Amino acid sequence: MIMGLTGGIASGKSTVSALFVGKGAALVDADVIAREVMLPGHPVLAAAVQEFGEEILQPDGSLNRARLGEMVFGNQEALQTLNNLTHPAIRREIKDRMYALEEENPQRLIIVDIPLLFESQWDTLFDKIIVVYVPRRVQLARLMARNGLKLEQAEDRLKSQMDIELKRRKADYVIDNSGDSEATSRQVAALWDKLGHI
């Protein structure tokens, strides 16, 4: 069974994905794939340079992520252009990997961690979706602590994402990660057992 897993920034997607892997699930991580398509030599990076210029590269030819981030941050049109370049390749790679894993072992639970699953309309790839939920104030506090951000900066990062309450409503299964790690582990164990019977 292939499950999409999402949530908000710093809601605990990586934490919950790791708990499922600990149970025996296989993981496809969209963030890892998104970085891979921007490695030197990849045609997607070449297309991005064509579009945004050599200035998005470091002297050694690798991506200057901060520079590209500045160019698209708050600029809807530029962000859309970048997404149009990267998303088809990322989506294809996610599909290739998840179906290869499924073929390898049809019994295994496959978790596909995609931060912007709903925003990118990738929910159609999955039968069922898990949302890792925390209320907005917890999300902000954890984001500030993890990334060393001020409140205003953390709020800025949340702005480009769909409201976490809406994501929760769209979920087939919700893991509430607002308690301690024990409470989250118990929910993952319960869902793991439940999915075993579907």
Nearer to ligand ADP, 52 or 115 (CB): 115
Which residues within the stretch 88-147 sit at the binding site for ligand ADP (CB under 6 A)? Answer: 142, 146
- C-alpha–C-alpha distance, residues 10 and 8, integer Å: 6
Residue 181 touches ligand ADP, criterion: CB under 6 A:
yes
Binding region for ligand ADP (CB under 6 A) out of 2-10, 72-80, 89-97, 121-129? 2-10
- C-alpha–C-alpha distance, residues 116 and 161, integer Å: 8
Nearer to ligand ADP, 60 or 180 (CB): 180
Cβ-Cβ contacts under 8 Å for 152 (sequence gap 6 or more): none
Residue 9 touches ligand ADP, criterion: CB under 6 A:
yes
Q: State the burial class of residue 159 (Cβ atoms within 10 Å of its Cβ: 0-12, 13-18, 19+).
A: exposed
Which residues within the stretch 10-69 sit at the binding site for ligand ADP (CB under 6 A)? Answer: 10-15
Amino acid occupying residue 30: A
Enumerate helices (H) and strands (E) in the chain, giving the number of each.
9, 5
Q: Which residues bind ligand ADP (CB under 6 A)?
A: 7, 9-15, 142, 146, 177, 180-181, 184
